[in-house]
Amino acid sequence: MTFEARINPEDLETQFADSDIILAADGIASPIREYYKDHFKPSTVMKSNRFCWMGSTRPLKDFTYFFKETEHGLICAHTYQYEPGKSTWVFEMSDECWQGWGFEEVNEEDSKQKLEAIFAEELEGHSLILNRSLWRHFPRIFCNNWHYKNIVILGDAKASAHFSIGSGTKLAMECAIGLHDAVIEHADESVEKVFRKYDQLRRVPAQIVQHNADVSLSWFEHMDRSWDMETMQFAMVVMCRAKSVTYDNLILRDPKFVEKVDTEWYQRYFQETGYDYRDSRPTPMFTQFKLREMELRNRVVMSPMAQYSADENGNLTDWHLVHYSGHATGGMGMVYTEMTCPSPDARITLGCPGMWTDEQESQWARIVDFAHEHTDTKMCMQLGHSGRKGSTQLGWEKMDMPIETTDKNWPLCSASPIPYFDGISQVPQELDQAGMDRIVDDFRAATQRADRAGFDMIELHCAHGYLLACFLSPLTNQRSDEFGGSVENRLRFPLLVFNAMREVWPESKPMSVRISASDWKEGGITEADTFAIAEAFSDAGCDLIDVSAGQTVCDQKPIYGRMFQVEFSEAIRNVKKMATMTVGSISDAAQINTILHTRRADLVAIGRPHLWNPYFTRQAAASYGVKDDQGWEQQYLSGQQQAYSVLGKARETQLQLQRKAKPKRHYKE
């Protein structure tokens, strides 16, 4: 064993030529990784916040965040005791705040003096301790390949996890255990098999941990957006920032904390709206929400989901009657229709429903009338035009591919003549003024039909790469006229459509707009674009921004995970102070309550879970024991008592078992 010997990466293979395995665990700045970067293929992103590590003689009993509002911005100190009488202090702030205070990257003594003055109260008379306390940007690193020849990479050299979740060492040790297990299993075969097994065992768990760290990191980059919150709500946001801790997790860990958070939430909601839940305390998801004169009984929404079940003329079938009417009895606050088209050539597929004939209007009215007569569920029609993604096969066939029976295809239009799949999809015609005028008229007429059919709300679909989304995204809008270029120009046509709809839609009824807040590709929609788009629609009379993402281009690279699109809704909700609805891999009631509690959205749309469980909301209500104002239909009342008894007991039993369970083995940082 040799210690304190510098290894030159260029000499690695010759210096250790007789070794079976060379383990590169040389840290976040890894010279070995950089020397072999063509083989390890690292992805490195330098994040925006500045941070530095210091110590202090102040003792700390618990891990503690100190948030400090200063004249130049918010500063957070991540602090914890590492030995008796000694604690670590990691200071983090935006680059703007860092520059405002005049910090210098390598002037440790100056930084120490300034931070001691800023955090004098929190340090309680103790001083800070320097130890190479240089200011840095956090590098988010992930190696796409983990081995080359007999070299395998481990620890921060392979994947960095932001310090705010305290899992860097844990991640490294668990990967080391995985590599060890792979060696034990395949050592008698080949090093190549060892490394492949290591990758198989650890790639997904490492990505999950890093994703959680990325989400936490992102929150700290924008912590000022939550700073106007009341104390307990801010504490709730800090606890739930990485999405792995939810409302139900916190009930299990610290019910008194949740009780305080709830009490503050109900009091604030009463002051803001007049809805009084201070005594009944049903959880946020079971509180009413109002948009204009429409009142929802709870915050759960059935997301628009294509059914591909209309006939070839765009008429509804018995499937739609059963699907929408049946789901309306499921207890959610509102049901969205799938994207419905204002003209035959606006359809995505031949199975998409329309709203351009009297017959279609009557068919939709039958469904809405059923929902209104038998349930308290509100109904929203989503209107949209497929644009360049039209004339394709049904969703369960070859999605996004042209209809194979060529005589059934129809001409497409878009913002620019760019096909969805180059060489496969039809090249759309660039929409001219006459085409725009016709489409505006189609949307206006369909909106009037939706009103006559009795819909409570209407939504304009400006997301997912359809016609209006193609105008909004710089990836698909290459126009040089007044409808292309700046985001203000790209907004012109979508706003023309929206304004035409708003003019004929009753003042008392709300309107929403669905947007893709990210194209998941470089050069696409930016956060600044998203804010401009949301604000423009709000100024035009939009009451709710339905925040989704992606599907604009076929080569997108989404970052999936639970609640993976909530961050976009949270940004609009907190920066622009607009009502939002969030969607995307939200699958249980605990997540809904977390989102609402932490001001990430006002409504939560559930998609796929509603396909297999129309009574998702009923089950959640029974589990939480919420009965007031949830409006069970008379025909189902006899099942209510049993649901509340069975599911309530199941929830309590589960909580008891979790409280008694022994903690999993863990590694202390």
Hey, which residues are catalytic here? Answer: 466
Q: Supply 660's token pair.
A: 């008694």
Tell me how far apart the alpha carbons of residues 623 and 651 are, in angstroms, rounded to a whole number.
6
φ, ψ dihedrals at 76, nearest 5°: -115, 135
Amino acid code (one letter) for 103: F
Q: Using CA of residue 615, residue 620, residue 625, residue 627, what is the dihedral sign?
A: negative
- In the numeric block, which tokens belong to residue 135? 């200011």
**Residue 30: closest CA among 132, 160, 216, 186:** 160
Q: What is the residue type of 81?
A: Q
DSSP label at residue 164 = G
Q: Using CA of residue 567, residue 571, residue 577, residue 582, what is the dihedral sign? A: negative
Helix locations, 335-432, DSSP H: 358-374
Measure the CA angle with vertex 589, ends 587 and 590; round to 5°.
Answer: 100
Rounded to 10 deg, the angle between the 566-575 and 527-539 helix axes is 60
Query: Computed from CA positions of residues 222, 224, 226, 232, in that sequence, does the dihedral angle turn out positive or negative?
Result: positive
How many other C-beta atoms are found inside a 10 Å radius of the C-beta of residue 402?
20
Distance in angstroms between the alpha carbons of the first and the last residue of the chain: 25
Instruction: From residue 452, give the alpha-carbon distance in Å to each of 328, 360, 455.
Output: 19, 12, 8
Closest CA to 209 of 155, 254, 248: 155
- CA distances, 139 to each of 28, 43, 287, 513 (Å): 8, 10, 42, 36
Residues 6+ apart with CB under 8 A from 406: none
